[in-house]
Amino acid sequence: MKIAVLGTGMVGETIGSKLAELGHEVKMGSRSATNEKALAWAKKAGSKASVGTFADAAAFGELVFNCTKGDATMAALELAGEANLSGKVLVDVSNPLDFSKGMPPSLLVSNTDSMAEQIQRKFPKAQVVKALNTMNCSVMVTPRQLKDTHQTFLSGNDAQAKAKVRGVLEQFGWTNEEIIDLGDVTTARGTEAWLLLWIRLMGAMKTPTFNLKLVKA
């Protein structure tokens, strides 16, 4: 599949590399078509990897991963362009973390709204699926490194779009049972709010390499 990865940070690099390793054609998008981090990534990721502007990447991908930082997401998606995102599955991995008031971060949007909803409202012709934002990027693409099964979540209005994202998660190593469809895009309020607990758990557990498993009776 042709896939765009927006963002050159650790999340974009990790997801981009995994997708290329799986045989997908991956274009990493950033503000500049000659971004040094993106070029270095592409060199490492091999012949399936290429770079471009946000718009280049979004035009290229049939699936678009938003891996930009939450406070830069809206600007990045505007540069990607409404036309390039229309009809595309837009996987939102970002979290609206606000580091401006010190540590630990709070959320820029929460409780009665979410980043995923803001994106869906701004780009109504894209099919936004919130996914993978509930864990460290190493766990996202290598779920089997943890000592037990664990959960990941999908939030989005379009069932086909969620099925497509589920397929990619299964390629990452997630089992079908581990992937929980929470419902429409408003359920991203739940997975984004989880970050407020996650950042404190990272402190208490002294590692970012963990996730939650849901346990029933």
145 binds its own copies (CB under 8 A): yes
Q: Which of 128, 144, 124 is nearest to 94 (CA)?
A: 128
Minimum CB distance to its own copies smaller for 47 or for 206: 206
Angle at 216 between CA 213 and CA 217, to 5 degrees: 150
Q: Name which of residues 151 to 180 contact its own copies (CB under 8 A).
A: 180
- Applying CB under 8 A, among 86, 160, 175, 207 the residue interacting with its own copies is 207
Minimum CB distance to its own copies smaller for 47 or for 101: 101
- Evaluate whether 97 touches 107 at the Cβ level (below 8 Å): yes
Token pair 């984004």 in the structure block, residue: 192
213 binds its own copies (CB under 8 A): yes
Count, residues near its own copies per rule CB under 8 A: 41
- Strand 127-131 relative to strand 89-92, pairing: parallel
101 binds its own copies (CB under 8 A): yes
71 binds its own copies (CB under 8 A): no
- Applying CB under 8 A, among 32, 106, 157, 171 the residue interacting with its own copies is 106
Give, for 153, the enclosing helix (H) or strand (E). strand 152-156
Hey, what amino acid is at 59? Answer: A
- Evaluate whether 161 touches 185 at the Cβ level (below 8 Å): no
The residue range among 21-29, 57-65, 72-80, 196-204 that interacts with its own copies, by the rule CB under 8 A, is: 196-204
199 binds its own copies (CB under 8 A): yes
103 binds its own copies (CB under 8 A): no
The single-letter DSSP state of residue 72 is G
- Evaluate whether 72 touches 119 at the Cβ level (below 8 Å): no
- Applying CB under 8 A, among 22, 72, 79, 193 the residue interacting with its own copies is 193
Between CA 16 and CA 3 the distance in angstroms is: 9
Between CA 66 and CA 77 the distance in angstroms is: 8
- Applying CB under 8 A, among 150, 166, 168, 169 the residue interacting with its own copies is 150
| Contact positions vs its own copies (CB under 8 A) | 101, 106-107, 110-112, 145-150, 180-183, 187, 189-191, 193-194, 196-201, 203-205, 207, 209-217
